[in-house]
Amino acid sequence: MLSPETLKKIDCEVAKYPAEQKQSAVMAALAIVQLEKGWLSPDALQFVADYLGMPAIAVQEVATFYNMYNTHPVGKFKLTVCTNLPCQLTRAQEAVIYLKHKLGIDFNETTADGLFTLKEGECMGACGDAPVMLVNNHHMCGFMSNEKIDVLLDMLKTKADDSNGGQA
């Protein structure tokens, strides 16, 4: 189900804990599996549960509690916009409205071309850079004006075109 490289990464995380507590690596294992697969299917959740010797429901509870895990397919680029109070006070709602209009989708939807999924996020700990958003849980963008959103979307579309041989 997973590549040898992915299994090796999970094993490195498991090795950080005593053998009888390997389930402590569940969050890292889920993140690693998601990086390879793009989302956490029921089969992927079951695999992690079996691999770590945990009940499947315990793995599912972790995967559905945190918004960084995708338990449904998402676009190539998951855009998560912080909508907590500090971001709201510094134009997050404007950024959300602009993104929804520009992409033609609402929160928890994916564009028809499969490139973008829009998510609402909790505080990302960068209130001084508000409004902020995350791209694929790894790249934080701050001070997101309409112009910066346009630049980001164009850059991501170009990246998708380059990785698909010119076909998005």
Give pLDDT tens digits for 98-114. 999 999 999 999 999 99
- Kindly state whether residues 85 and 110 are assigned to the same domain: yes
Domain interval for residue 138: 77-163
Distance CA 71, CA 124 (A): 20
Distance CA 160, CA 146 (A): 21
Q: Is residue 168 part of a domain?
A: no
Distance CA 82, CA 148 (A): 16
- Kindly state whether residues 37 and 95 are assigned to the same domain: no
User: Is pLDDT at 142 greater than 90 in this prediction?
Assistant: yes
- Kindly state whether residues 61 and 90 are assigned to the same domain: no
Percent of the chain with pLDDT over 70: 97
Q: What are the structure tokens assigned to 76, written together?
A: 């190539």
- Kindly state whether residues 57 and 106 are assigned to the same domain: no
Range 80-97 average pLDDT: 92
- Kindly state whether residues 61 and 82 are assigned to the same domain: no
The domain tally of the chain equals 2
First and final CA of the chain: distance in angstroms? 26
What pLDDT score was predicted for residue 168?
47
Range 28-41 average pLDDT: 96
